Structure formats: structure tokens, C-alpha cells
A and B are shown apart, each in its own frame.
Chain A
């Protein structure tokens, strides 16, 4: 009888457990594992990126054998790496950066109902060597630390980037024998390194000069990155064992050199530093903000439910191959304008002193992009005061050149800025892109099931550039990719 009672009690307990367990998930196991994998990459391509092609800075043949100082830059450095806004300091001590450092405070996901989900509020510091072997630049990507989110549709991911740094920044002070350079030091992960945080210079976009956004309010914090998947966002469903969210910053082969001036301890100082190419939003002389050039794209896929698009690069040159949603306008993936006419055939040649023709961009082709009035100087340094008056005169000069000639009226002003804003805002990075040398096979990997138009670039990749209108040729339209399929084009 006693044994029977015990048996009944045990049965009741397990029956209760069974009732409780209907449809249950292993919550505690879910807590210590994750199904959402966030991968960050520093490439335009989603896989198999083009190798680094940053031209060397110094023309080694004329390097001073005694002082070891660089005497001449290469053509590639002057035409492709050094931005046309660099105009104050002509020192030749700059060397290419070798490290890219990223300090991310947090990543959040925005859902379709407007909710914001904190799922990676861990500060993460990354340091990537700028070479082809580093996963950040090799196409493999770097896995972030994060947790899962509720099963929902997420149209955007928000990156709270504290710092973006590169090494090889130099500060120059004028001395009797010329510019005297020394390394700039900045703080990364609470320690000082010879590097420069260019994120403090970045803004979302340039706006017309009559608007009141200051750099402070326009700063890239957070950086909101849309996830333009077929369902208008990332579908995260915890019934799938893994969902990958890939976030790509265009950094590889997209680094240029900029300049800014300041008075450090009342000494006129010019700083040369490396940041992202101003291909989309041109940076002009004496500007401090380098906004709108942090190009980022995100996409998601479920491993096992993807296919691939393969083919051969028969374009006759090294080329990017991109796949965009079927029917999408290819001009959304390009901008109006043309590349510089002075791109050197051999970037390693000695810079011959010839004028460099800057590339076109929506900003440089805006006739109403008037210069901003310099902020009033209230200090007591005579040099800074005189500098301020010179800047005011230059501002007046530029204004008088444009108004009312090329920028004739306020209506023109509005129309030109609207055109600029439309072109810049409508620019999209392709979610799927790869690179193939001439005559080599290519394969776009991890393609979610769907229908795509496949394009090949009409020109070989150029350092510091992406593509202008008309620089993509259609390979095949309406390429249908199913899960597990390997579709060959054309």
C-alpha cells in the first residue's frame, strides 16, 4: 500500500512536469547559447574580396640615404590616397596605415513596430591589421559578442561606434628647416597608441549651409544601418538553429588621407590622418567634418537555406560582380559623375608634380554648396586671430564666386540641395558582391533564396572609388536562387 502511494506521488509529479513542459523550450540552454550570429566585415564584397591595393606612400628610389627621410611621394599616393582637400602641409613623411581599430559600445536592433532591442550591450574593441589575411578584410568576417532577440522582423541595426582609429597619423609644426612631423597619439581601449580617432570627425551627412546642424548633433552615434532583405528586414525566428546578420563597412581599398589645422599650445599645427574615402561626399579644403562617407550595409541569412551564384569573369578585367534584387534600379547602386581623369596607370611611379584632377561626386557637382562661415575667434593669439580673418575673407570670396552666378536664387539653392540629398540618400551598397580577377571563376556565397539581377562592373576596381552611373553591365536578369542551389550565370 505504501509503495503504491509513493508510485502515485511520483507519477503525479512527472505528469505535472509533462503538462508544464508542453511546447517548452530549453530556456536555460538558450541563455548560454545563441542563435543570432553577428558578423562584421570591412569589405565592399560579401565574400572573396579584392586584395588590398593601397599604393605605397613613399617613392623609395629617392629616399634620402642618410636621413632615411622620404623625399617624394608616389603617383598613387598623391592621386588616390591623399585627398584634394590636403593643401596646407606638403611634408612627405606620411606612411600608409597598417591598423584599423574599432571601439563599439553597443549594437541594437530596431523592430518593425518601432521597438529597440538591446542585444549586445557589451563594449567591444577590435584591432584589425590592414592586410588580406585578417578575417575582417579576408571576407570571413569577425564574430561579435551578442545575445539573441525575440522572434520578429528587424528592419535596421544600430551601431553605437565610440571610436574608429587608424595609425600613421602625423602632426606637423612649421620650423626653420620645414615641417617637423611627429606621431599623433590617441586613446584606444583606455590605453594610448600612436593612432587617430577619425570617428569624431565623421557626421551623417553634409547639409545645406543654412541649416543649423552642428557636428555635435550630426555625429555618427548611433549609426543606423538598414537591413534591406527581401522581407524589408531581417526575419529572426528562434526555431532556426542559426541566423547570421552580416554588417559590412567599406574600409578595404577605401582609405584616404585628410588634413586639419589647429593651434596646439598656441603653435600652428597641421595634422595628417587617414579615414574613409570621400568618394560619395567630397571633402573640401579647410573642412573639419568628413561626413557621410561611412558606407555600411547589412544583410541576414539562415545557413542551410541559401544558395550561390557562380560564373566566370569574362569582362576582360578584374571586376566586381554584384547581385541585386530582381527589378531593382541599378542606378541606386551607383552615383552620377565620373572618376578622376588623372588616375595613374602605374601608382608606384614617382609623383611628377602634375595637377591632380579630383573625382566628381554629388557634392562637388552642387553649385550651391556654399562655404560655411568660420566660427568667430574670441581668443588672444594673434596668429589665430589673423587666421580667422583670412578664413572670413576666403569665405566671402567663395560666396561671391557662386552667388548669384552659378547659384542664382534661393529656389536654385533649394533645388540643388534637394538633388544632392536625393542622390546621396538613395545610394545603396549591394548586399551581395564578390570580386574575380579577369578570366577567373566567381561565386557569390550565402545567397538567400530569391530572384536576383546579376551585374558585372564595366571597369576594374579603382582604389578609393566605388562605381558611377553606367559602370555596371547586366550579366543576367531574373536569376532564381533556391536553397541549396548553385546557379551558374549567364
Chain B
């Protein structure tokens, strides 16, 4: 009899744990719609013409996001610090600051998939010429996020940033940068 009671208790706990997981999943889905703030770091890779002069390095940044009335759309502001060095003398510091619109695939998965696109400006500091200026930038990206509880989200991101200089006389090409990284952000 005692064994039966013990087994029932264990089975009940397991069931409750399962139900608890199910409820938690529903709760996370709600929490994901809250304003979010976080950061990321990972390799930042130049490609195209500028990759002939500077090389991949580690970069990182911060971002905030707010959900729009349509719950699968968010707007966000991102900034990061990216320093591209080289074996030679060239060095490019790049601080993008942009707004973006995020679209979450409206399917109830435990993992969230988001596409994003945006525009803004990027601060460039070119060495050894010591030339600095702001250039317009455009970006597009994709994220996979794993909600881990009410507050914490862990994600992977890949962003493409285009530095536009086509409007400047004498420009022969713009800049292409690929940011990949892991991110940690919080529902607040």
C-alpha cells in the first residue's frame, strides 16, 4: 500500500513537472513580448573590398527592443563596437548605430526565429590616415532565440551591415560587414 502511495506521489510529481513545463512555456511566450535589453559578442567579419585590407576580429554590442501592437513585430535600437585590425598598418574602427524592425515567425515553437532589417549611421575611424566620419548604413539579419525562464533569453544572431558611401564623390565601393554572435538579453 505504501509502495502504491509512493508510486502515485512520484507519478503525480512527474505529471506536475510536465504540466509546469507546459505552463512555463506559455508564460515565456508572453514574457517574450515585454521590452527587452541585452548584449552580444562574436566575430565581426569584413568582406568585399575592405577584407583585402583588414581582418576578422571579435566585436560586441548592446540593444533594446519594444514590441509593437502587433505582437510579432518589434522595433529595436542596436549599437556595437567593431575594430578591424590587419597584419599591416590598416585599422578600421566601426561603431554602427541603427534602428531596426524585427519580425518574429508567428509559429508557436519553444525557439523563436526573428528576421530584422534597419538603417542608421555608422562612425568610422580609419588608421593610419586618421580620418573619421559618420556614414549611413543599412542592415539585415536573422536571430534564433531560446527563452530561458521569465527574464532571460539566449540567442544566436547573424547580421549583415552595408556601409553606404555611394553618395560621396570619388567613392568606388561601400563596406560589407558580417556580424555573428551569441546574445543574452532580458525581458524587463
| Interface residues of A, Cβ cutoff 8 Å to B | 13, 16-18, 20-21, 24-33, 117-122, 146-150, 238
In the assembled complex, 6 residue pairs joining A and B whose CB atoms fall closer than 8 Å, in A order, are: A21-B168, A24-B134, A25-B168, A31-B126, A147-B128, A149-B128
Q: Are B172 and A29 in contact (CB under 8 A)?
A: yes
Tell me, yes or no, whether B109 is within 8 Å of chain A by CB.
no
Structural contact, B170 and A32, CB atoms closer than 8 A? no
- A13 to B173 alpha-carbon distance, docked (Å): 20
Do A32 and B173 touch across chains, with their CB atoms under 8 A apart?
yes
The 6 lowest CB-CB distance pairs between A and B, nearest first, are A26-B171, A150-B130, A17-B136, A29-B172, A26-B168, A20-B134
Chain B interface, number of residues (Cβ within 8 angstroms)? 33
Closest beta carbon of chain B to A446's beta carbon, Å: 24
Main secondary structure of the interface of A (DSSP, over half): mixed
Which of B6-14, B22-30, B84-92 faces chain A?
B84-92
Query: Which one of B128, B134, B165 contacts A26 once the chains associate, using CB atoms below 8 Å?
Result: B165
A312 to chain B, nearest CB (A): 43
Measured CB to CB, the closest approach of chain B to A153, in angstroms, equals 14
Q: Which residues of the other chain, B, contact A27 by a CB distance below 8 angstroms?
A: 124, 126, 131, 133, 135, 165
Q: Do B128 and A150 touch across chains, with their CB atoms under 8 A apart?
A: yes
Provide the residues of chain B in CB contact with A24, threshold 8 Å: 133-135, 165, 168
Residue from B49, B128, B135 having most chain A Cβ neighbours under 10 A: B128
User: Quick check: B89 and A18 within 8 Å, CB to CB?
Assistant: no
Does B81 make an interface contact (CB < 8 A)? no
- A31's partner among B90, B119, B133 (CB-CB below 8 A) is B90
User: Is B44 an interface position by the 8 A CB rule?
Assistant: no
Q: Check: B146 CB closer than 8 A to any chain A CB.
A: no
User: Binary interface profile of B, 45-69, with partner A (CB < 8 Å = 1, else 0)?
Assistant: 0000110111000000000000000
Question: Does B121 touch A at the CB level, under 8 Å?
Answer: yes
Interface residue B163 (Cβ < 8 Å from any Cβ of A): yes
In the complex, which residues of chain A have a beta carbon less than 8 angstroms from the beta carbon of B133? 20, 24-25, 27
List, in ascending order, chain B residues with CB within 8 A of A33's CB. 172
B118 to chain A, nearest CB (A): 11
Task: Enumerate chain B residues within 8 angstroms of A30, measured Cβ to Cβ.
Answer: 126, 129, 131
Do A17 and B173 have beta carbons less than 8 Å apart? no
- Looking at the assembled complex, report how far the CB atom of B160 sits from the nearest CB atom of chain A, in whole angstroms: 16
B50, closest chain A residue (CB): A28
Q: Check if A29 sits within 8 Å of B165, measured CB to CB.
A: yes
Known interface pairs A24-B165, A24-B168, A28-B174; 5 further A-B residue pairs with C-beta atoms within 8 A, sorted by A's residue number: A20-B121, A26-B170, A28-B165, A29-B165, A146-B89
A17 to B120, CA, bound (A): 9
Q: Any chain A CB within 8 A of the CB of B167?
A: yes
Q: Residues of B contacting A21 with CB < 8 Å?
A: 135-136, 167-168
Distance from B87 Cβ to chain A, minimum over Cβ atoms (Å): 8
Known: A24-B135, A31-B53, A32-B49. A150 touches B129 (CB 8 A): yes
